Every structure is written in C-alpha cells, then in structure tokens.
Structure 1
Amino acid sequence: MPQDMPPAGGYSPIQYRRNLPARGFRPFVYLVGMATVMTYGFWRAGQGIREHNELAREKMWARIYLIPALQAEEDRDQVRRHLADKAREKELLGTETKVYNSDRFVRPTFAVTPEHVTK
C-alpha cells in the first residue's frame, strides 16, 4: 500500500482565524469626533454663560435705574395716605392733633396686619 504524500507545492494554509470585516471607523477617528463634539459643546456652554451674565447685568442696571421712579411713587403714596389720615382725623375729632412734640418730619411706618378670620 502506497503512502499518501502531500501534493506538489504543499497543502494550502489552514484558516484558523475568523475572517470578520472591520466594522466602523478606526479608534482615532472616534477620538477626533468626540473631541470635536466636546469642544463645540464647551464653546456653546461658554456662550450661554456669557449671555446669562449679560442678561443678569442688564436686569440689575434696569432695577438700579428704576429706583428713583419707584421711590417717587412710594413718596407720593405716603403723602396721599398722610393727607387722607389728616382729613379723616379732622372729620372724626373736629380738630388736628399733634402726635410729636417737634415739627421735624418722621417717616411714617405702616404695619400691615392680616384681617381676623373667624371660622
């Protein structure tokens, strides 16, 4: 019985690895893409913070500019209340009374108390 011999030129190599195609991009491409997206995100966040600070500054200056108008409105309201109190006092008592011993102006203070609610 003759012994089997390899064919001329030898056997073809044995494929022992899996032949899977590469899926996706190379890792470097993903790293560059991620860095690009993060850079854009940080840039937009910085713009948002800058805009927020600018709006807060604008709001603060708007309030500062409104203070004189609000103070004048409060002063007019106090004068109106004072004159109404004087008129009510004169109507009830028939004469004006002095609360203080001096003519120096004392800024009135109003205490707002809740109305008594009965159940």
Structure 2
Amino acid sequence: MPQDMPPVGGYSPVQYKRNIPARGFRPVHYLIGMHLVMAFGYYKLFYAVREQHELAREKLWGRLHILPLLQAEEDRDQARRYYADKAREKELFGTDNKVYHSDRFVRPTFMYTPSKVTQ
C-alpha cells in the first residue's frame, strides 16, 4: 500500500498567531506630531511672555509720566481747600488767625468725617 507523501515544496506554515492589521499611524509619527505641537506651543509662549513684559513696561512708563499731572492736580486741590479754609476762618473770626507760631508752611491734613455723629 503506497504511503501518502507531503506535497512537493512542503506544507504551508501553520498560523498560530493572531493576524490583526495595524491601524493608525506608526508610533514614530505620533512622536513627531507631538514634538511639533509642543514646539509650536513653546514658540507662542515665548512671544506671549515677551509681549507681557512689553505691556508691563509700557504700563509702568505711562504711570511714571502721568505722575506729575496727578501731583499738580492734588496740589491745586490742596491750595483750593487752603484758601477756602482761610476765607471761612476770616468770615467766622473776622481776622486772620495763625494756628502755628511760625511762618513756615505746614501742609494741611484733611480728614473726612461724617456729617452726623451717631452714638
């Protein structure tokens, strides 16, 4: 009785692993994409920080340049209050009274008080 022999060239290999096709990009493409996104983020951050510093510098210089104007406005207000107080004192007392015993100018201090004192 003749024995069956393998086919010429042998049998095909037995598939014992799962044959799942790869989906999506290769991992190196994800790494490159991630690095590109991060590089763009750092680029934007670099220029945003530079712009924040420039805006802070501009704000500081603006405040420094407006300070003399604010000081002059406060001085005019102080002079107006001073002469109004002198006029009120002259109206009440009939003469100029000196509060201090010196000719040196003492900058007046004003305190806002309520019109009615509640107890």
Structure-2-length-normalised TM-score: 0.86
User: Distance between the aligned counterparts of 1:88 and 1:17, measured in 2?
Assistant: 106
Two-structure CA RMSD over aligned residues (Å): 2.3
User: Distance between the aligned counterparts of 2:12 and 2:32, measured in 1?
Assistant: 42
Number of aligned residue pairs: give it.
119
Q: 1:114 deviation in Å?
A: 5.3
Q: Is the aligned partner of 1:30 residue 2:12?
A: no
Specify the alignment match of 1:94 in structure 2. Answer: 94
Specify the alignment match of 2:46 in structure 1. Answer: 46
User: Distance between the aligned counterparts of 1:113 and 1:75, measured in 2?
Assistant: 21
Amino acid at match of 1:72: A
User: Distance between the aligned counterparts of 1:114 and 1:24, measured in 2?
Assistant: 76
Amino acid at match of 1:56: A
Specify the alignment match of 2:110 in structure 1. Answer: 110
Amino acid at match of 1:87: A
User: Distance between the aligned counterparts of 2:116 and 2:18, measured in 1?
Assistant: 87
Among the aligned pairs, what percent are the same residue? 66
Where structure 1 has 5 or more consecutive residues not aligned to the other structure, the ranges are none
Q: 1:2 deviation in Å?
A: 7.2
Where structure 2 has 5 or more consecutive residues not aligned to the other structure, the ranges are none
- 1:36-70 deviations in whole A, cap 9, x for unaligned? 11111011011111101100000000000001111
Q: Secondary structure at the match of 1:104?
A: coil
Amino acid at match of 1:67: L
Q: 1:31 to 1:114 in 2, by over 3 A?
A: farther
1:7-86 equivalences in 2 (<5 Å): 7-86=7-86
- 1:73-118 deviations in whole A, cap 9, x for unaligned? 0000000000111111111122221011111111111223456675
